[in-house]
Structure 1
């Protein structure tokens, strides 16, 4: 599916499919952390089963107002205790499948929100 950004000054997901996504028309094939202001780096996990509390503690250090967690091809939730570092810093977290997370991230980024997408690609 192709997605189109309303604002050219914001980093957006411009397309996605099984195992890949494009950010500003540049293809990526690994798990990704993405922010509207240009933040983009691989997320150091291999799949949902490899996630640990430390992955979510690291997300809290990014100081976003909201984290959109794309849990892969289906909706899956991590243990609530893993979210304590985010809650302690008053950072919201929304969980959805990765394709829904891409769409939601784009809407929030276009609004100028300080949002981070943590995306698992399968």
Structure 2
């Protein structure tokens, strides 16, 4: 390939059976197929929901996740996207989620969205909460 010349490669993910997959970013939000979630996103293997009134990372509580964990079978862990940069959630939040029997994996929201796709392709049964970018 000569300098300055690029080949056009289009990547498509076969997400049949994987549930909702983040397919891109738009502004501070996330695209799931044709839907845009500008203010945060809650994901389970069977649904994508707008995260209405998503708190700041410092104000995060288990109550702010709504019924995210109420699926059968129970999810393995919570994938938490902390916005445009990696920030640690309150320790009390993590302790409460762990006391419920779930692990918590924390990363910035772009990385969490990409990790979601990889883990769902592996058919991992997880949930995610992605704060806006």
Normalising by the smaller structure, the TM-score range is 0.7 to 0.9
Cα distance in 2 for partners of 1:38, 1:58 equals 12
Across the aligned residues of Structure 1 and Structure 2, the Cα RMSD in angstroms comes to 2.6
TM-score of the pair, normalised by structure 1:
0.80
Structure 1 ranges of 4+ moved more than 4 A: 56-62
TM-score of the pair, normalised by structure 2:
0.74
- Structure 2: gaps spanning 5 or more residues: 1-9
Aligned ranges 1:1-122 → 2 under 5 Å: 4-10=12-18, 11-52=20-61, 54-55=63-64, 60-61=69-70, 63-122=74-133
> How many residues are matched?
121
Per the alignment, do residues 8 and 110 of structure 1 end up closer, same or farther by CA in structure 2, a change over 3 Å counting? same
- Structure 1: gaps spanning 5 or more residues: none
Pick the structure with greater CA Rg.
2
- How far is 1:114 from its partner? 1.2
